[in-house]
Amino acid sequence: MNKLVVVGSINADVVIHTQRHPQPGETLVGSGGQVSAGGKGANQAVAAARLGADVSFVGAVGSDAYAEPAMAHMDCVDTTAVEVVDTNTGLALITVDAAGENTIVLSPGANALVDAPFVTNQSSLVGSADMVLLQGEIPAEGFAAAVDAARGRVVVNLAPVIAVDKDALLKADPLIANEHEAGLILAQFGGPTEGSPRELAQGLRDAGFNSVVLTLGSAGALVAEDEFVEIPTPSVDVVDTTGAGDAFAGALCARLLQGDTLIDAAFYAARVGAFAVTSNGAQASYPNLKSELPG
């Protein structure tokens, strides 16, 4: 079986539900406060593993009480290369409104220690992978070290967008981004930061990316290789959008490792992302191979 190595973040998510998002200086009464597993790296790893991928993870958690809930769903992932370090586990404070839209404030914690020496220490594992998946929740030097160690295909979802080595970033095939992220990435290359999805995707291709997948929320996705292909998403009742983009990214990688074309993988990933928004949480909402996907 082809191997996926994810180098990324592990977080504990604290979720509060409100009717709407608060204005600056405003206090609202909400509900919830549960602690659940999150982190873009961990989310994507779990999503891919539940869909049949052989996944190993390189990352860190703290020595605090949040480490256990942060790792609660990673039993399907090889976590041998996850280190426990003497700091707090990454923490995400998430507010979800009545429409299922979320805002997130992130404290990196242990994820900030996944730097170049940390990743280089796992270079043999990273180098053994058929595919390496990266995000933007670890230090830029750790990101670059992972790309340098990779011998297989590199997939990048640079979220949040951080300033990373441009040559390392251009190894992404594909680059996965939403419209806002695409504009911020283009700014790093001196390109236009606004435009239609096609214009943004074309800008990223012009900047040197071999392939691009723009995620467009309820509008689906756009794949840009030699041509543009629009990917629809099934219509579902949205409960919580937390981690839906990560479900998409993990599913995309799982299908690419199984031999799908990028377009076919994106069609499948859109269905997985739609499934994920129909229940609360990130990893807890992800399907497995027995789940009935919408659409």
Q: Residues for the chain: how many in total? A: 295
pLDDT of residue 280: 87
Residue numbers belonging to the annotated binding site for ATP: 178, 215-220, 245-246
What are 221-230's pLDDT values in tens digits? 999 999 999 9
How many domains is the chain built from?
1
82 in a domain, yes or no? no
Residues identified as active-site: 246
Mean pLDDT of the 201-221 span = 97
Residue numbers belonging to the annotated binding site: 11-13, 39-43, 137, 178, 215-220, 240, 242, 245-246, 276, 279, 281, 285
The pLDDT-based confidence of 242 (bands split at 50, 70, 90) is: confident
Compute the mean pLDDT over every residue in the chain, rounded to the nearest whole number.
Answer: 96
289 in a domain, yes or no? no
10 in a domain, yes or no? no
100 in a domain, yes or no? no
Side chain identity, residue 111: N
169 in a domain, yes or no? yes
Domain span at residue 158 reads 40-60+114-277
Distance, in Å, from the CA atom of 240 to the CA atom of 172, rounded to the nearest integer, reads: 29
Cα–Cα distances in angstroms (integers) from residue 32 to residues 14, 16, 128, 140, 192, in the given order: 9, 5, 42, 34, 41
pLDDT of residue 101: 86
Residue numbers belonging to the annotated binding site for K(+): 240, 242, 276, 279, 281, 285
pLDDT of residue 1: 65
Residues 6+ apart with CB under 8 A from 184: 161, 193
Q: What is the CATH number of the domain that holds 119?
A: 3.40.1190.20
The pLDDT-based confidence of 39 (bands split at 50, 70, 90) is: very high
29 in a domain, yes or no? no
pLDDT of residue 71: 98
- What share of the chain has pLDDT > 90, as a percent? 93
204 in a domain, yes or no? yes
Q: Count CB-CB contacts under 10 A for residue 152.
A: 17
Q: Quick check: helix, strand or coil at residue 293?
A: coil
- What share of the chain has pLDDT > 70, as a percent? 100
> Is the peptide bond preceding residue 160 cis, with omega within 30 degrees of 0?
yes
Residue numbers belonging to the annotated binding site for substrate: 11-13, 39-43, 137, 246
Distance, in Å, from the CA atom of 128 to the CA atom of 134, rounded to the nearest integer, reads: 15
pLDDT of residue 292: 97
What are 140-191's pLDDT values in tens digits? 999 999 999 999 999 999 999 999 999 999 999 999 999 999 999 999 999 9
Distance, in Å, from the CA atom of 55 to the CA atom of 48, rounded to the nearest integer, reads: 7
What are 71-125's pLDDT values in tens digits? 999 999 999 999 999 999 999 898 989 988 888 888 999 999 999 999 999 999 9
Q: Quick check: helix, strand or coil at residue 228?
A: strand
